[in-house]
Structure 1
């Protein structure tokens, strides 16, 4: 059994995790249409986007995680808007200019990021959040820095897009420290851009 199948099957990860507050705050500024959630896990982003009216492809290598997504989609009456894809995101052949929104949460995939960005339609938006290296070391997420972003690494990887939001931050969760980098970027180019008004704190 794949390690993620085992973790999801044994309940090591919550089956109804909340989406990022940043994603929740910015979703109303995103273009409507079709979305892709990369390394969807148990549906943190996929089900939220489906509830917001998107047709969502939820991609993950774990059948157990995808089963949870399908069950939760049925329970929340969004199953008609959620399609699960059993595939390894590190090897998947992403279709070009297909998605209006792409989300990635807590999955390091810089080797595939160019192909993921190419899957955005013109004007499409990428949301990406992942664990960050920090000092003192964060205690939530990967046990080593190998699978964490360095400071500004995610930002530099998205400079070919229009950056709408970027933040590196730490947060205390039940006595443990989480360090994350979060970006919202749009597939547009040029020196003059429109930007959504920030309306959250």
Structure 2
């Protein structure tokens, strides 16, 4: 019998409560989701199910992937509490090594996990017409104590946008927002579609924009 994997730093964070058990899903994802096709979704580096539980509640069949067993346990508990556990499967795996299936998902979401080196694999895992949503910490000129202590895991200006050019970009922004206790957060967000038709279909969102 193989030995179980040792606890990760994230296991300890999740079990100690130093990371939110019930984080809110991305506001941009929430606004766009109604106009994105239903089907199967993957929430990569799900943590405690930030986007995964929301997508299951929205009717998607969701694969929630993370390297933390504790995060996945909490994600399953949250899905059970909302009575959507029949639409959510957890996958214990390292996102840097996971062998993504080809043309499997209608929607893939990634929140605050730096994964530029897997972009080609994520794009290939989308069905034609499928969507990729990515948000992550951004290198802002303003003080942003929230997130990584160094720029190694922060997106440079337009770096996330350039990474998405193999897909059809539907939305992109770079913003800095104030948060409680003066912990500002600088974030880059991308929504892109695996589509050979540059004209659309475009999901609707009031005030949505694409930057050059």
Q: What TM-score range do you get, normalising by the shorter chain?
A: over 0.9
Residues 145, 183 of structure 2: 8 Å contact kept: yes
TM-score normalised by length of structure 1: 0.97
Paired with 1:161 and 1:177, the residues of 2 have a C-alpha distance of 30
Q: Deviations over 1:58-98 (max 9, x none)?
A: 00000000000011111110000000000000110000100
Partner of 2:136: 130
For 1:33-44, what aligned pairs fall within 5 Å after superposition? 33-44=39-50
Q: Does 1:31 align with 2:37?
A: yes
Q: Kindly tell me: are residues 67 and 191 of structure 1, through their superposed partners in 2, closer, same or farther at Cα, counting changes over 3 Å?
A: closer
Paired with 1:134 and 1:141, the residues of 2 have a C-alpha distance of 12
Which consecutive unaligned segments of at least 5 residues does structure 2 have? 1-6
Partner of 2:3: none
Partner of 1:177: 184
Q: Secondary structure at the match of 1:129?
A: strand
Offset of residue 200 of structure 1: 5.8
Partner of 1:12: 18
Q: Does 1:91 align with 2:88?
A: no
Offset of residue 199 of structure 1: 2.7
Q: Which runs of 4+ in 1 moved over 4 A?
A: none
Paired with 1:19 and 1:148, the residues of 2 have a C-alpha distance of 20
Match of 1:74 among 63, 74, 80: 80
TM-score normalised by length of structure 2: 0.92
Q: Secondary structure at the match of 1:151?
A: coil
Paired with 1:191 and 1:77, the residues of 2 have a C-alpha distance of 38
Paired with 2:139 and 2:24, the residues of 1 have a C-alpha distance of 23
Paired with 1:98 and 1:143, the residues of 2 have a C-alpha distance of 35
For 1:38-187, what aligned pairs fall within 5 Å after superposition? 38-174=44-180, 175-187=182-194
Offset of residue 177 of structure 1: 1.2
Which consecutive unaligned segments of at least 5 residues does structure 1 have? none
Paired with 1:107 and 1:118, the residues of 2 have a C-alpha distance of 19
Offset of residue 196 of structure 1: 2.5
Paired with 2:73 and 2:166, the residues of 1 have a C-alpha distance of 35
Alignment coverage as a number of residue pairs: 201
Offset of residue 126 of structure 1: 0.6
Residues 66, 91 of structure 2: 8 Å contact kept: yes
Partner of 1:189: 196
Offset of residue 137 of structure 1: 3.5
Residues 25, 200 of structure 1: 8 Å contact kept: no
